[in-house]
Structure 1
Amino acid sequence: MPLSPVSVSDEPVTPAGRLFLSPEFDTIIHCIIRGKDPINIDALKSTIASSLMLKHPRFSSLLMRDRHGREYWKRTQVDLDRHLIVINNRIESVGDSSAGEDDEEEAAVNQYVADLSVSTPLSADKPLWELHLLMVHRCAVFRIHHALGDGVSLMSILLACCRRIDDPEAPPTVITKRDSGPMGGNWWDRLCRVLMMLCFTFVFALEFTLRATWLRDRTTVISGGAGVELWPRKLATAKLSIQDMKVVKMAVHNASFNDVFSAVVSSGISRYLDHRSQNGLQKGLWITGEAMVNLRKQLMLEDLPNLIKRGNKFGVMLLPIYCHKSSGDDPLQYLKRAKKMVDCKKQSLEAAFSYKIGDLAMSWLGPKYAGFLNYRIVCNTTFTISNVIGPQEQIALAGNPVAYIRANTSSLPHALTMHMVSYAGRADIQLLVARDIIPDPGFLAKCFEDALIEMKEAALATAKT
C-alpha cells in the first residue's frame, strides 16, 4: 500500500473499513450476476462508465496510508479497462457427470468464485474493485472490497446500474423502511419495554465479551477455527421460493422472513449434522452464528450517495441455534423457536452495541487489537449468516435480462458462511465452505431446501385444519 502525504480533499477510511482491511479479515464481497443472453462487453462498459458507481468517490479512489499508518482514500482517474478481467475459456467443474447443463454451468461459476475467495487480494494500485466477465457462462462477478461499504450499500450501487424489464427507464424496486417497532402504549408499557431492552442488551453484551475471551461453541463436524480462512473452499447454492417462505411465515403469528430464514438454517444444519455425525446428532447441542444486521433507517436507490457515504453501517447479533432431530416433531417448531429467539434480539440494542463497540475499539485500540478481538469472536462461533433484499421484479444489466443475483464474501475462520439474496420471487443462499471440513456443500444446500418444503407442507396442513 503506497505512502503519500494527506491532502485536504482526502477522506479517511472509516473504523469499520479499517477492520476489513486488517490482515485477519481482508474481506472482499463477490456478487454474481448471470445474464440470460451473451455478455456485450461494450454495452456493459458504457453502462458502468455512465453510472453512479464510477461517480462515487469510493469507487474512484486509491487506498493510501500516511506516515502514521492510517489508511485514507485518495481520488484518482479510473481506467475501466484495468478493472475488467475477461475470461473467454469455459471453466471445467468437478461434479456429477449426470447433472443437467444448467447445473454444470452453475457448478462452474461457483467453483470459480470459491477459488477467488481464498488468498486472491485486490491490487492496491487501483480502486479496490474488479469485474470478472465469464463470457462462456454469461456471468459477471463483481469483486468489491468490504472497506468500500456494506452489503446493503454495495448491492444498491450495483442495482443502480440496472433497469426493470417491464419499464426500461425505471430503476429496480428495493425500497424498504426499517420498522422501529411499536412505541405506543401508556407510560407503564413504555417503561417495561425500556427495562426489557436494557436487560436483553446487558445479557447479549456480556455474551459478546465472553465470546471474545474464552466461551466457544462445542466442536462439531462443521466447526472452523484459527487459520481456516486460508483453507480451500467449495461453493454451493440453496434455492428457496419466496412464495414458500410466505406460506411458512403465515403459519406463525407475526413471524417475519428473517424468522423463516433462521428456522430454515436451524432445521437444515440439524439435518446435516445428524447425517454426518457418526453417533447421530448430539442431544442438547447448541451452536452459534454471527448474523449481520443492517442499521440503516431506510434503503432507497434515489438517495444512493447518502446511502453509501458512511460506508459500513451494520451490526452483529449472535444467533444461537438449537440442533435436534426433527423426526416425529412438528417442523414449525423450528420457526416458533427461531421467532422467540429473534424477538428477544430485536428488543435489545445488541446490533447497535456491537457496531459502536467495534467503532470505538478501532478508534482507541487501533486495527491490530480490534481485529484480534473480532477474530476471536469468529473463531469461537460456528457460522456466518446474512440476508440482503434484492429487487422485486425482473431486471436487466446493460440490456441483458438477469437470471439470478447471488453474493458471498471471501473466506473467514468459519468453515461455513451463508449469504442470502432475494430476487424476483426467489431467494438463493450461497454456502461457502471449507472443503476439507464440509466436503459435500451440495448436500447441505439440499438440507436447507428440504427443510423449507417440510415446513411449507406442515403450514398448509395446519391451515386446512
Structure 2
Amino acid sequence: MGKGGEGEAVSPGSRIFHAPGFEYYVIAVIGVKTRIDPQVVKQGLINTLLNHPRFSSILVKEGRKWRWNPTTVNLEDHVIVAETEPHLDFPEADRFLEDYVSNVTKTPLDISKPLWEIHLLINLRTSESEAVCVLRIHHSLGDGASLMSLLLAASRKTSDPLALPTVPVLSKTTTTSDHRRLSGGCSLWRFLSALWGIVPLLWNTLVDLVMFALTVLFLRDSDTPLKGAPAGAELHTMRFVHRHLCLDDVKFVKTAMKMTINDVLLGVTQAGLTRYLNRTYGAAEEYGKQRSNHSHKLSKLRLRATIMFNVRPNAGIQELADMMREKSKARWGWGNRLGLVIVPLPIISQDDDPLQYVGQAKAMIDRKKHSLESFCTFYCAKLVLNLLGIKVASAIIRRVFSNTTMAFSNVVGPMEEISCFGHPLAYIAPSTYGHPHLQALTIHFQSYYNKMTLSIAADPTVISDVHLLCDDFQLSLKLIRDAADKNLVPHAV
C-alpha cells in the first residue's frame, strides 16, 4: 500500500539493471558468530533500513518514466526465516549453504514490493559461523560501495556498541590531483607541469575508448575453460563459493612491493587464473597424449576483466546513520553511477617470478588511474540511454560482458569486528548475479577485520571445479607472499 506522493526518478544506471536481458542482483552471505534472533533483526531493520527511502519504495514504470514511489513495508515479506536441518556436520552444512544461495537466485524478486530480502538461516552452523544471513538486493537500489556503507551504518563496533565502524580512507587518484594542479596552479612552471600530466591522461583515455568500442563491435576474448558458453548461458544457475585469505599476507605484499591492496588482489587474480588454465590445459594435453608447450599457447590468450567504477563520492557512514535514525529524506545522489572499465589480464608462465603478477597488475592499475575511461563510459551510457532508449544501451553493455571473460571488484570493509543488531559478524562475502553471464566468472574481494574474503560466482556448466579455482587463488597468494619476503632479504642484510 503506497504512502502517497510522487517518488524520486530512477537513475539511468538503475534503469539499465532492469533492461531486457538484465536482472542484476547483489547477494551477500554473512556469517554470524552467535545464534540469530529473528525478532531482534526485524526491530533493527525497522529502526534503520526502513528509514532509508530506497528500501521503503517500489519501482513504478509509467510509459518512459520510472520512479521510486514510497510504500508501506511488510517485514514478513522481506525477512525469511529458513528451515534447515539443525545437526548437519560441517562439510554438509557448507554444501547446504552453497545450494541454498544458488536456489535463492533462481527466483526474481517481486517488483510490486521493495526489491530486497533477507534470509536468516538460524540453525545452520557451518565451519565458519554459528548461523548465516543471506542478503539479496536488486542492484538498482544502489552500487556495491553504497550498499556496503549502508550495512556499516546500521552496524556498530563489537568492542564499543555505541561506535560506528572504522573504514580505511581511500587516497585521491592521480587523475584528480592532476586536475587540481591544472586548475589551481599560478606559475608557468606549475601550469606546464600539469599540462604535461594531462597529455598521457588524454592519450590513455583515447586508447581505452577505442578498445572499448572495438569490444562492443567485435573484439572478443579467447575461448578458454573460463569463457562462458554462447547461447542460453543466461539461464544457467550460478554457483557461489567463498574462501578466506590472510589479509596480513596481502598487506605484507602491499608494503614490500610499495603498491596498493587492489594491485595485490588483481595480481593474485591473474596468478590464480594462470594456475587454473595451466592445470586445465595440461590435463587436456595429457589426456590427448599431446606434448606441446601449453604455456606458450597460454601467453597468446586474450583474457580481460570488466570492472565497474563508482564515479561519485559516497555519503559518509555517519551521514547514513543519521539519515536512518532521523528519517531524513536526503539521498546524496543515491543510486548507481558506475562507469565500465576493461582491464587486460595477461597470462604468464608459471615458471616465472610470482612477483611478475603483482608487478603487471600495478602497472595496469597505474595506467587506468591516468585515464578517464570510467567517466566517459558512464556519461556515454547515459547519453545513449536518453537518446536511443534502454534497449540500445543495454545491448551495448551486454556486448561488453559477452566479449570479455570475467567481472572483478574489490570492496573495502571495516577495520575491526562489527555487530549488526547485536549479532557479531564472522565474515562478509558479497557477490553479484543476473548480468548476461556469457561471462561465466565473477570475482569479488571483500576485506573485513583480519580477513580478505574471496567470493567466486561461476557457471558450473563451464567451471565445474570452483573449489579448485579457490585453491589456486590461495596458493598464488602464498607464493607471491613468499617471493616478496625473499625479495626483502637483500635489503635487510
Q: CA deviation at 1:161?
A: 1.8
Instruction: Find the aligned partners of 1:402 and 1:433 in 2 and give their Cα distance.
Output: 25
Distance apart, 1:192 and its partner CA: 1.4
Q: Name the TM-score, length of structure 1 as normaliser.
A: 0.92
Corresponding residue number in structure 2 for 1:238: 243
Alpha-carbon spacing, 1:392–1:179, altered in 2? closer, same or farther (3 Å) = same
Equivalent in 233, 236, 258 of residue 228 of structure 1? 233
Preserved CA contact (<8 Å) 1:62 1:128: yes
Structure 1 residues 103 and 350, CA gap change in structure 2 (3 angstroms): farther
The 3 A distance-change label for structure 1 pair 102 and 92 is: closer
Give the Cα–Cα distance (whole angstroms) in 2 for the partners of residues 159 and 110 of structure 1: 25
Aligned equivalent of 2:164, options 142, 150, 171: 171
Contact 1:86–1:135 (CA under 8 A) maintained in structure 2: yes
What letter matches 2:93 in structure 1?
E
* The one of 29, 34, 42 aligned to 1:32: 29
Q: Distance in 1 between matches of 2:405 and 2:248?
A: 29
- The residue number in structure 2 matching 1:375 is 398
One-letter amino acid of the counterpart of residue 311, structure 1: G
Q: TM-score, normalised by structure 2?
A: 0.87
Q: 1:136 and 2:140 equivalent? A: no
Q: What's 2:147 paired with? A: 154
Q: What percentage of aligned pairs have identical amino acids?
A: 34
Aligned to 2:109: 122
User: Which of residues 2, 8, 11 in structure 1 aligns to 2:8?
Assistant: 11
Query: What secondary structure, in the 3-state scheme, does the structure 1 residue paired with 2:303 have?
Result: strand
- Structure number with the higher helix fraction is 2
Cα distance 1:38–1:8, how it changes in 2: closer, same or farther (>3 A)?
closer
1:70 aligns with 2:68: no
| Cα distance between partner residues in 1 of 2:21 and 2:203 | 33
Structure 1 segments unaligned to the other structure (5+ residues) = 94-100
- Alpha-carbon separation, structure 1, partners of 2:263 and 2:335: 27
The structure-2 alpha-carbon separation of the partners of 1:256 and 1:102, relative to structure 1 and needing over 3 Å to count, comes to farther
Structure 2 match to 1:82? 77
Contact kept? 2:13, 2:338, Cα under 8 Å = no
Distance change in 2, residues 1:456/1:217 (3 Å): same
1:339 paired to 2:362: yes
What code does the residue aligned with 1:39 have? I
Deviation at 1:455, TM superposition (A): 0.4
Evaluate the alpha carbon distance shift between residue 102 and residue 420 of structure 1 in structure 2; reply closer, same or farther with a 3 A threshold: farther
TM-superposed CA distance for 1:26, in Å, is 0.9
Q: Which runs of 5+ in 2 are unaligned?
A: 125-130, 182-188, 286-293, 324-329
CA contact 1:116–1:410 (8 Å) conserved in 2: no
Which one of the candidate residues 264, 268, 287 is aligned to 1:264? 268
Q: Closer, same or farther in 2 for the Cα pair 1:460/1:245, shift >3 Å?
A: same
CA drift at 1:333: 0.7
Which residue of structure 2 aligns with residue 98 of structure 1? Answer: none
SS of aligned partner of 2:453? strand
SS at the partner of 1:235? Answer: strand
Could you tell me which of 288, 292, 309 is aligned with 2:308? 292
Flag the 1:230–1:92 CA change in 2: closer, same or farther, 3 A.
farther
Provide the C-alpha distance between the structure 1 equivalents of 2:231 and 2:149, rounded to a whole number of angstroms: 33
The change in CA–CA distance for 1:47 and 1:333 in structure 2 (over 3 A counts) is same
- Is 1:323–2:360 an aligned residue pair? no
Contact 2:157 2:165 in 1 (8 A): yes
Deviation at 1:180, TM superposition (A): 3.1
Q: Work out which of the two has the higher radius of gyration on C-alpha atoms and give 1 or 2.
A: 2
What displacement does 1:363 show? 1.7
Q: Does the CA-based 8 Å contact 1:289-1:319 persist in structure 2?
A: yes
2:416 maps to 1:393: yes
Letter matched to residue 199 of structure 2: L
Give the match for residue 319 of structure 2: 303
Residue 103 of structure 1, CA deviation: 4.8
Q: How does 1:439-458 map to 2 (within 5 A)?
A: 439-458=464-483
